Structure 1
Amino acid sequence: MSNPGITVRLTLWITLLIAWSLAPMLWQLISSFTASGALIDSTVPFQERWTLAHYIELLFTDPPFWRYLFNSAVVAALSTAFTLVLAVPAAYGLAQLPTQWCRKVKNLITITALFPYVLLFLALLELARTFHLGNSLLALSLPYSGLTMPLALLLLTVAFEGFPKELEDAARTEGFTLSQRIRWVILPLIAPASASTSILVFLFAWNEYPVALTWLSRSELLTLPVAMARIAGSSVYTVPYGGYAAATVLGAIPLLVLVLLFQRQIVSGLTSGAIKG
């Protein structure tokens, strides 16, 4: 029988951890429905504190805020597609290398994944200027795909290494070509790893700010982080706390839905190689 004292302390720590994690999000949610004057004046009557004005202003401005959500979704989806199309065959080939060589290549990829991409900022800016890649959502997805490629390779390589070789050998015996084996045999079995990789790439592209700030200048093409930064700095005299909080809530809803829909695949994919060997 477990110790009741340990159970109580564990429950208390978990409760505090959940409260600590959810408090900022709850504060943003409450602030998004609070009138601007009530955010800084506690004497405002209760019935006058709550409003939908922040959301109405965001959704009916020109361009409307949903346009920024759409732009971020397009860039994130394109980045995810480009990354998976290139990373899946590359990871498969890497997993076929002898163990010693595979380990060396993965070490190099790990170093690349840990490299702070902000140091590449000027190089990416020069590429955008030279090849006229600015103000294009399609072009913006290209550096995002390159920046997330090392992490995608690492996750997918681990998944391919854990794939039962007997199944692939049986498919080869049945006359399946390499592309058919990958499409019909391997990919369905590494779906959790592919899902977790897709989510991580999508989140990076959704939240990335410095590259989007320099590659996009037209207001109707701005992604969500850049648009939110403009909302926060829209006035030199006051900070639009309510509007910024509403923008935060609207920007978090798609990610929340995405994570809730694929939470099992994400956890399964991230832990697929934890017990290997």
Structure 2
Amino acid sequence: MKTPQRALVVAALLAWTLGPLLWQLYTSLRDPSALVGQAAADLASGWTLSNYSQVLSGQPPFWRYLLNSTVVAFSATLLTLVLALPCAYAMNRCRRLLRAGIRLTVLAAAVFPYVLLFLALLELARTFSLANHLLALTLPYAGLSLPLAVLLLQSAFADLPPELEEAARLEGMGLWSRLRWVLIPLIAPASASTAILVFLFCWNEYPIALTWISRAELLTLPPAMARIAGSSVFTVPYGAFAAATVLGSLPLLLMVLLFQRQIVSGLTQGAIKG
């Protein structure tokens, strides 16, 4: 492919991926009256920060939703990794035929649409009084994320040469010592990429958070979006919604920028080969 053609393809991909993000940012900085009609063509006026002030001055404050989402996503990600790492190791040490059967079962669980489990999850929430308990969301989130995490980490364990563990065994290290000091540090990039994927799922999950949490001060970000600007059937606050979207995306953007090297390394080394 020639250089001009390559540049055109790259430009098209950037427009495809960054276009919606830039449009949200643009909408968040425009007065609602400047988004429709002839005023939309006038780029010299109509710029405002009122959408952000409207979001940040709401009750409960916007930072509370961000904090709730951070607590839930972080705790669910941590629980998922704690369960997935030993499961992935054990799965990788099974016999070939048994490992193939377990892998197929876990893969089926990973691609199973979790909305079909919705009624069962609601019944569990009612039976065990999990409604309106913020940390209770970590249980279904970790359970739904566990199959994918096990698959990714099992592929990472499979990439490690068996001689490393054998040498650690000859040094007198037990199973948990080998996992803690030898194997898990070697798959840190794959663990980081898995943690990011789990965190993103937990951060953006909507149906369970909407039904398990009804108190406004305990809402996570996705179900709180509809309440931020006081939307109604008569008006749609596009500017406020866009401002809330931008603010809600900043923690994720910062996290991805900080750990982009680990994410790329984990996806290329542990999650593809296996």
Q: TM-score, normalised by structure 1?
A: 0.94
Within the alignment, does 1:40 sit opposite 2:15 as a pair? Answer: no
**Partner residue of 1:202 out of 191, 199, 203:** 199
CA contact (8 A) 2:152 2:194 kept: yes
**Partner residue of 2:244 out of 235, 247, 257:** 247
CA contact (8 A) 1:231 1:240 kept: no
Shift of 1:273: 4.1
Shift of 1:231: 3.9
CA contact (8 A) 1:92 1:157 kept: yes
Q: How many angstroms apart in 2 are the aligned matches of 1:211 and 1:273?
A: 30
**Aligned ranges for residues 111-190 of structure 1 at < 5 Å?**
111-190=108-187
CA contact (8 A) 2:80 2:146 kept: yes
Per-residue CA deviation, residues 23-45 of structure 1 (Å, 9 max, x unaligned), is 11111101111112112243387
Q: Is 224-233 or 75-84 further displaced after alignment? A: 224-233
Q: How many angstroms apart in 2 are the aligned matches of 1:137 and 1:274?
A: 31
RMSD: 1.7
Match of 1:57 in 2: 54
3-state DSSP class of the match of 1:58? helix
Match of 1:214 in 2: 211
Per-residue CA deviation, residues 10-60 of structure 1 (Å, 9 max, x unaligned), is 210111111121111111101111112112243387565111111111112
Letter in 2 for 1:134: A
Give the paired residue count.
Answer: 273
3-state DSSP class of the match of 2:157? helix
3-state DSSP class of the match of 2:38? coil
Shift of 1:7: 2.2
Match of 1:15 in 2: 11
Match of 1:25 in 2: 21
Within the alignment, does 1:89 sit opposite 2:100 as a pair? Answer: no
Unmatched 5+ residue regions in structure 2?
A: none
Q: How many angstroms apart in 2 are the aligned matches of 1:12 and 1:85?
A: 44
Indicate the percent of aligned positions where both proteins have the same amino acid: 61
Q: How many angstroms apart in 2 are the aligned matches of 1:102 and 1:256?
A: 37
Letter in 2 for 1:22: L
Within the alignment, does 1:103 sit opposite 2:100 as a pair? Answer: yes
Shift of 1:171: 1.1
Q: How many angstroms apart in 2 are the aligned matches of 1:221 and 1:194?
A: 29
Shift of 1:276: 4.5
Per-residue CA deviation, residues 220-264 of structure 1 (Å, 9 max, x unaligned), is 010110011334772111100000000010011111111111112
Distance 1:56 1:275, change over 3 A: closer
Q: Is 9-18 or 36-45 further displaced after alignment? A: 36-45
Shift of 1:126: 0.7
Letter in 2 for 1:224: L
